[in-house]
Chain A
Amino acid sequence: MNRTSDILVIDDEQVIIDAVIKICSLDNYSVDTALDVKTATEKITKNYYPIIICDIMMPDGSGFQILEEIRRKNLRSSLIMTTGYSTVENAVNSLYKGAIDFIPKPFTVDELLSSVYRANNYQRIKEKQKQLYLQKLNDEVLYVPCPSKYLRLGYSTWIFQEREGSVLIGVCDLFMKTLEATQEIEFQDTEDEIAQGISCASLKCSNDRNHKILSPISGRIVEVNEKIKKYPSLIEKDPYFEGWIYRVIPANLDYEIKYLISCSSDRL
């Protein structure tokens, strides 16, 4: 399978395709395009694209079909979902079904670039992992997977249910590994409401990029980790224990839990 371009953009609107091409050229990515699901399916079957940016609603189908196609054909491509019909449902559903990110339309240049940046790094890590596997160097650890009792939203954030009914929220190591060194974290305040699939904090990295963290569940923040406020690097050093971000009283855990992936499963 040839690698012709770095990115495939699937969208039925030419203006968006043009915008994505322009933006991605800022970071020197080469971009291929498809205006409908049919062309896109043909292209991903023929060529290999490390990153696919895909709209959900298209005239001849939905972006979920592309996601299904990738899963079925066991392709290595990473998919970033985007849609103008940006409901929380769409966001968490696409993450559950294997997309690595969700960007609601309309998005800014920075939002898209940081997502593509992460996707690129994610791809690189996976590539490396594969090579190590082929060289039978399984012992080498590229990232620490989340502990088995945890649940995660996509590969980015995790939750841990405490005995008191509250829930701890944090960022997965794999997500952190796709970023540069974290310089600063922008938190929400205690008593703020956060919603599943919507950004709840933002990480500012050494290369000046901002990365939004999507909340894995909805609820009310009862505590912000003071340690991490003081030492932002803790989030990279101990992402699953000392590096938690919020303690939250969940609002709809019973319902939302079905979009979370158990860390004990070997799904990526």
Chain B
Amino acid sequence: MFKKIGFRLIFVVALTSLIIIGVFAYFNVKAQSNSLITEVERHANQLAETVISSTRYDMMLNQRERIQQTINSIGTQPKIRDVRIINKIGEIIYSSDSTNINKMVDKRAESCYACHAEDKPLEQISITARTRIFKVHPDSNRVIGIISPIYNEKSCWQAECHAHPKNQKVLGVLDVSISLADVDKTILRSEWEIVIFALVAILAVGLLIGYFVRKWVSLPVNDLLGGTQQVSAGNLNYTIKDLGDDEIGKLGHSFNNMTKKLSEARMQLFQSDKMASLGRLAAGVAHEINNPLTGVLTYSSFLLKRTKDNPEFQEDLKVIVRETLRSREIVKSLLDFSRQSIPKKSSADLNEIIDKAISVIENQLSLNKVKIEKHSEPGIPNLTVDANQMQQVFINLFVNASDAMEMTGGTVNIKLHRITLSPYGTTQIKKAACSKRHNLMDNEFKIDGLPALKVKVLSDNKEGIIHFDPVYGKRRNSFNLDFKINKDSKFVCPECNVSLIQPDKSCPKCGSPVLVFEVEGQGIYEVCSSEKSDWEKWEFVDSAGLKECVEIKISDTGSGINQEDLSKIFEPFFSTKGQKGNGLGLAVIWGIIDNHNGTISVESEVGKGTTFIIRLPLAQQR
């Protein structure tokens, strides 16, 4: 439970308010009780002054009975616990409690200590020093006592009784004790009030914070968490619902954006792989079928020659030859489809290619009431492309757009501009070789679906193969060896055993030998030979920096494509046109763009239209 952000936040806020309110309450109660005590002190002092002045006359007359009476009558008042007069030597001479009379008080007692701390007692001290608060028993109420000195004066030493010598300063003290039961009760009550207030306040703050934390943090974070779990489980079509416009809302938004891009990238990769396998399949099929077809064709045409004088055989054999020739054409078109032939690239003006494509199908489009508008950013440089293939791409896309607007008519909008993309983690090594030009790509071992780079390791009469990630910047290398690589290990080409170690160079991170691969037409790729290091360098890609691309957006205002079909439109044999199409158009387009190291993606909204986005790199890798 403590691992939840909401709970932690509530806990911290509650703790903070507990401390603040606690400190406030402590000082508040203290101040309150201090002022109450001061009030009582003042009151007691006043009372003491009153007792002294009301007994003064009786003292002058030395009327002890009357003094005792006065003290008794004051002592009976409620709250007043005790009133005593103590003489110079510490004997209680008058007391409201008659049992105490004539008892001696110890000068060392706490009540006397303020003045009698030193040998010569103090004669004058402040009111607070004269005050003491104490408990008679540990469980009885608190009591405040105040001692007022009775000073010698002229009438005292001139009185008839001559009880006090002239040089004496203090004749005795009056001690008044008042019970603090009421004051204590008031303080206790206000203490309780404050504790209850504090608890209520903390509870209220906690609930309030809890509510908003849940609303603004916990629930959206749970949604995000659910989303990431969905995505990590492989559901890339999952989108997080709108989470408002705060930071978490923006996070959700960029998360959705990211999964969309991820699913597009996966789609591209998937498609690339599929087209590649289809190409391999077609090539394999062509080769495998062409050989037996050669048998059929040669033998049948051989027989055709040998049986010139047998018209009955001739007819049948001609059928066999004709149909075999037909099969030959079918296989040939299959090969053409799989685009085994690499694109014939030369420098070409993209605008010119598009204009040509437009002129080819303009008539067809105007019949369908479709207009074409083209906006090109000025200064689009020439690209190294196969002009024919690119023209085919644009014609196919325009025809598709026109088909989508068949009923309604509309506009096809073409926009060209330059953009810049980062190459790191996206550039793939497609062909690597040793210094003797042996292919080091391993089609049998793939890392994330792409053929890895293979290297043979020789170490103490043992040998094994290790694999490096073909995607620059990903570093998912594979070292599956049943022995350890040491200083004397050799890294060689599996075909010719030529060393792959770059002489006079070691890994700048760990000092291990550096392996070097020649990447066809793209310089050299260097990687640290140690399993632990992730150092790698591909100067060609690094120096190229950000990838400059030309982006071509082709939008129509047609019927659009629904989400379900959108993910499938580049698949071969997928068609929404029924009998009209063969489902190869977009698959071929995809293959052509991929052969140009470009990407194609699609955005569509049903009823509003479709946009195809093609990105072609400015610097072609061949």
List of B residues within 8 angstroms of A106 by Cβ:
290, 293-298, 324, 328
B346 touches A15 (CB 8 A): no
Whether A32 is near chain B, meaning CB under 8 Å from some CB there, is no
Complex Cα distance, B301 from A109, in Å, reads 6
Complex Cα distance, B35 from A141, in Å, reads 137
Complex Cα distance, B296 from A256, in Å, reads 34
List of A residues within 8 angstroms of B295 by Cβ:
13, 15-16, 19, 106
Tell me the smallest distance from the CB of B367 to a CB of chain A, in Å: 23
Residues facing A in B336-371 (CB within 8 A) are 340-342, 344-347
The contact of B298 among A84, A88, A104, A107, by CB within 8 Å, is A107
Tell me the smallest distance from the CB of B10 to a CB of chain A, in Å: 70
The contact of A105 among B293, B304, B325, B388, by CB within 8 Å, is B293
A16 touches B301 (CB 8 A): no
> Can you name the residue of chain A whose Cβ is closest to the Cβ of B324?
A106
Tell me the smallest distance from the CB of B299 to a CB of chain A, in Å: 6
- Which of A104, A110, A255 has the largest number of chain B CB atoms within 10 A? A255
Say which size band chain B's interface belongs to. 35 or more
With A105-B294, A108-B321, A252-B386 as given contacts, are A87 and B335 in contact (CB-CB < 8 Å)?
yes
> Can you name the residue of chain A whose Cβ is closest to the Cβ of B338?
A87
Whether B78 is near chain A, meaning CB under 8 Å from some CB there, is no
Whether A192 is near chain B, meaning CB under 8 Å from some CB there, is no
The contact of B294 among A19, A87, A253, A255, by CB within 8 Å, is A19
With A26-B305, A254-B346 as given contacts, are A108 and B298 in contact (CB-CB < 8 Å)?
yes
B332 touches A86 (CB 8 A): yes
> Can you name the residue of chain A whose Cβ is closest to the Cβ of B302?
A109
List of A residues within 8 angstroms of B387 by Cβ:
251-252
Residues facing A in B297-311 (CB within 8 A) are 297-299, 301-302, 304-305
List of B residues within 8 angstroms of A109 by Cβ:
298, 301-302, 304-305
Against A, the Cβ 8 Å flags (1 = close, 0 = not) of B323-336 are 01100100010010
The contact of A108 among B287, B297, B335, by CB within 8 Å, is B297
Tell me the smallest distance from the CB of B501 to a CB of chain A, in Å: 29
> Can you name the residue of chain B whose Cβ is closest to the Cβ of A57?
B287
Against B, the Cβ 8 Å flags (1 = close, 0 = not) of A243-259 are 00000000111111000
> Can you name the residue of chain A whose Cβ is closest to the Cβ of B389?
A252
> Can you name the residue of chain A whose Cβ is closest to the Cβ of B342?
A89
With A16-B295, A85-B283, A256-B344 as given contacts, are A105 and B301 in contact (CB-CB < 8 Å)?
no
A255 touches B335 (CB 8 A): no
Complex Cα distance, B332 from A252, in Å, reads 21
Whether B620 is near chain A, meaning CB under 8 Å from some CB there, is no
With A16-B291, A85-B286 as given contacts, are A23 and B296 in contact (CB-CB < 8 Å)?
no
A252 touches B388 (CB 8 A): yes
Chain A count of residues within 8 A CB distance of the other chain: 31
List of A residues within 8 angstroms of B386 by Cβ:
252, 255
List of A residues within 8 angstroms of B291 by Cβ:
13, 15-16, 84, 105
With A19-B302, A109-B301 as given contacts, are A84 and B288 in contact (CB-CB < 8 Å)?
yes
Tell me the smallest distance from the CB of B329 to a CB of chain A, in Å: 11
> Can you name the residue of chain B whose Cβ is closest to the Cβ of A195?
B341
Interface of B is mostly: helix
B298 touches A19 (CB 8 A): yes
A255 touches B297 (CB 8 A): no
A107 touches B297 (CB 8 A): yes
Complex Cα distance, B295 from A13, in Å, reads 10
- Which of A13, A87, A105, A251 has the largest number of chain B CB atoms within 10 A? A105
Whether B378 is near chain A, meaning CB under 8 Å from some CB there, is no
Whether A22 is near chain B, meaning CB under 8 Å from some CB there, is yes
- Which of B304, B344, B387 has the largest number of chain A CB atoms within 10 A? B344
Complex Cα distance, B291 from A89, in Å, reads 19
List of B residues within 8 angstroms of A84 by Cβ:
286-291, 294
Whether A205 is near chain B, meaning CB under 8 Å from some CB there, is no
Whether A44 is near chain B, meaning CB under 8 Å from some CB there, is no
Complex Cα distance, B298 from A16, in Å, reads 8
Residues facing B in A88-132 (CB within 8 A) are 88-89, 104-110, 112
Whether B234 is near chain A, meaning CB under 8 Å from some CB there, is no
Whether B292 is near chain A, meaning CB under 8 Å from some CB there, is yes
Complex Cα distance, B342 from A252, in Å, reads 13
A255 touches B344 (CB 8 A): yes
The contact of A87 among B292, B301, B341, by CB within 8 Å, is B341
List of B residues within 8 angstroms of A252 by Cβ:
344, 346, 386-388
List of B residues within 8 angstroms of A26 by Cβ:
302, 305
A89 touches B297 (CB 8 A): no
Tell me the smallest distance from the CB of B335 to a CB of chain A, in Å: 7
Complex Cα distance, B379 from A119, in Å, reads 53
A255 touches B346 (CB 8 A): yes
Complex Cα distance, B340 from A83, in Å, reads 15
> Can you name the residue of chain A whose Cβ is closest to the Cβ of B325?
A108
Complex Cα distance, B297 from A13, in Å, reads 15
Query: Can you sample 28 A-B contacts with CB below 8 Å?
Result: A13-B291, A16-B291, A16-B295, A16-B298, A19-B294, A19-B295, A23-B302, A83-B287, A84-B287, A84-B288, A85-B283, A87-B340, A87-B341, A89-B341, A105-B290, A105-B291, A106-B290, A106-B293, A107-B297, A108-B298, A108-B301, A108-B321, A109-B298, A112-B298, A251-B387, A251-B388, A252-B387, A256-B344
Chain B residues within 8 Å of A, Cβ to Cβ: 283, 286-299, 301-302, 304-305, 321, 324-325, 328, 332, 335, 340-342, 344-347, 386-388
- Beyond the given A85-B283, A87-B335, please list 19 additional residue pairs across the A-B interface where CB-CB is below 8 A: A13-B294, A15-B294, A16-B295, A19-B298, A19-B299, A22-B302, A84-B294, A86-B286, A86-B335, A105-B291, A106-B294, A106-B328, A108-B321, A109-B305, A110-B301, A252-B346, A252-B387, A253-B346, A254-B346
